[in-house]
Amino acid sequence: MNESSPPVLSVLETRVLGVLAEKQHTVPDTYPLTLNALVAGCNQKSSRNPIMNVSQIEVQAAIDSLKHMLFVIESSGGRAARFAHNIERVLKIPVQSVALVTMLMLRGPQTAGELRINSERMHKFADISSVEAFLDELAERVPDSLVVKLPRQPGSRENRWAHLLAGKPEINEHEHAPIAEKYNLTENIISEHDFIALKSDVTRLEAEVIALRRIVEELSSQPVSRQNGK
């Protein structure tokens, strides 16, 4: 297989491209996206790594660059211009690979197990081995790989993967400690029990935060007690 080398994108360009690919599946009724919707998706606080705070001008500049590389298509109609991605055709990869690359662009390095969970709304993989098969295909792409398997972190049972659309990633040994191992998220099969346990812990922590807030509010509303009978 002889593919042409993909262009090197900026971090913001990968974010824009990832948002377009994600929203195509999560909010199909509003896709293609307007500039405002795209900015909101780029600045989203959840399911994003790194967190960004970019302006319309910056996103528009990224769109213009991506349009020049044919990654983004602009369509007219209505009051505002709308934008769609063209990842499959430019990179010549199937929808399964698009889902994996999208999650890596939006959330940073992840294990195959994490990718299987996070990409579920874009594509449901049968098992982790199928995720790994597509990752291996992307990594062995000729002449340039689209993903790379990172060195295993201390204490981790699985390697993380990263995309290469923005060049070779910087390896941070202390990033993303293996917290998920408590719930066996690095196993080939994620049990329903592990998922329920994780949700239970989150619910418990939220309840504790609410209770602590109430205690602080009650303490702050009470008058300061007088000392020595004064």
pLDDT tens by residue, 59-98: 999 999 999 999 999 997 678 899 999 999 999 999 999 9
As separate numbers, helices (DSSP H) first and strands (DSSP E) second, the chain gives 8, 6
User: pTM of the prediction?
Assistant: 0.74
Q: Please choose, from the candidates 200, 186, 104, 202, the residue with its C-alpha nearest in 3D space to the C-alpha of residue 153.
A: 186
pLDDT tens by residue, 140-168: 998 899 999 999 988 888 999 999 999 98
Q: Cβ(76)–Cβ(56) under 8 Å?
A: no
Share of residues in the chain with pLDDT > 90 (%): 63
Radius of gyration of the chain (CA): 22
pLDDT tens by residue, 109-141: 999 999 999 999 999 999 999 999 999 999 999
58 CB neighbour count, 10 Å cutoff: 15
pLDDT at 190 over 70: no
pLDDT at 205 over 90: no
Q: Identify the three-state secondary structure at position 43.
A: coil
